[in-house]
């Protein structure tokens, strides 16, 4: 029973275009959401996050949107670059910093030059 | 800071052998997480500790798995006896008090023959 779902195992996008990665969650107690990027043979690295009190957070080329009523969030990358090719994990956590962090299965993004 | 340090980076062992994976969290971080990455399930939470105390071990697959955190700077994940289906990359991550963002180590790739 996966609490965090990423239904697209892979995505291919042309360089310069927008990449949209989607994530759905089932537990309404989740309060904080994170995106991580992972290159082969490396550990995941933090990319961007959003609290449930917001519906959008932006950091450079990366924007995360949160729709609480739909229990859905998305990561937009504009413009996409070949170096963005990696596996992207969506994660969710509870209200406190002592809560566990649950990850989705990941989406492999390929940005084609 | 050197980040989260995991050892060994690679381990190849035979079925039935004991495997011990080690993790040194970032100094000052008081939460430590163990995850397992597989193709089917993505990043699966095995167990996490707050202030060296195990909080949730519901993700530990079987009694063959055990984890300890004897002090704030060291944790182990032990598999005894190991089986081929335990082959995966195991990640350790840590987090400071009051924060939601985890910092991951580079992972330990385990192959059980």
Q: Hey, are the CB atoms on A32 and B41 less than 8 Å from each other?
A: no
Confidence check: pLDDT of A113 > 80: yes
pLDDT at B78 over 90: yes
Q: How far is A87 from chain B (nearest CA, A)?
A: 10
CA–CA distance, A106 with A102 (Å, rounded to integer): 12
Residue B86 DSSP label: G
| Cα gap A112→B24, rounded to integer Å | 38
Digit-coded pLDDT (tens) for B5-31: 999 999 999 999 999 999 999 999 999
Please determine, for residue A73, whether its predicted confidence score (pLDDT) is greater than 70.
Answer: yes
The whole-number average pLDDT for the span A16-31 is 95
- Burial of A98 from C-beta contacts in 10 A (0-12 / 13-18 / 19+): middle
Q: Do A43 and B106 touch (CB under 8 A)?
A: yes
> Which residue is closest to A37 within chain B, CA to CA?
B104
Strands (E) located in chain B = 5-7, 10-13, 19-24, 31-38, 42-50, 53-56, 65-71, 74-79, 88-95, 103-104, 108-112
Residue A1 pLDDT exceeds 80 = no
- Shortest CA gap B85–chain A (Å): 18
Q: Do B42 and A93 touch (CB under 8 A)?
A: no
Q: Strand A10-14 vs strand A107-112: parallel, antiparallel, or unpaired?
A: parallel
- Chain-chain contact of B95 with A46 (C-beta, under 8 angstroms): no
CB-CB neighbors (< 8 A) of A100 in chain B: 33, 45, 48, 55-56
- Residue A43 sits at φ, ψ, to 5 deg, of -80, 160
Interface test with A, best of B42, B47, B50, B90 (most A CBs within 10 A): B42
Residue A80 preceded by cis peptide, ω within 30? no
Q: How many CB atoms neighbour CB B67 within 10 A?
A: 20
Asked if the Cβ–Cβ distance from A44 to B91 is below 8 Å, we say yes
Cα separation of B45 and B95, whole Å?
15
């Amino acid at each position: 029973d996966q609490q965090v779902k990423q239904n697209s195992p892979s995505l291919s996008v042309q360089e310069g275009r927008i990449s949209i990665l989607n994530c759905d969650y089932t537990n309404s107690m989740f309060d904080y959401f994170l995106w991580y990027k992972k290159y082969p043979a490396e550990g995941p690295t933090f990319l961007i996050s959003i609290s449930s009190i917001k519906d959008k957070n932006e950091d450079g080329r990366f924007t995360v949107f949160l729709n609480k009523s739909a229990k859905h969030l998305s990561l937009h990358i504009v413009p996409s670059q070949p170096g963005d090719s990696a596996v992207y994990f969506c994660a969710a956590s509870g209200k406190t910093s002592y809560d566990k962090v649950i990850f989705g299965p990941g989406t492999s993004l390929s940005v084609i030059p | 800071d050197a980040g989260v340090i995991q050892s060994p980076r690679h381990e190849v062992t035979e079925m039935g052998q004991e495997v011990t994976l080690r993790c040194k969290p970032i100094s000052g971080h008081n939460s430590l997480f163990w995850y397992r990455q597989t193709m089917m399930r993505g990043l699966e939470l095995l167990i996490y500790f707050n202030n060296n105390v195990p909080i949730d071990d519901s993700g530990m697959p079987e009694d063959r798995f055990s984890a300890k955190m004897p002090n704030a700077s060291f944790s182990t994940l032990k598999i005894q006896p190991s089986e081929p289906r335990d082959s995966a990359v195991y990640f350790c991550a840590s987090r400071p008090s009051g924060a939601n963002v985890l910092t991951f180590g580079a992972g330990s790739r385990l192959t059980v023959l």
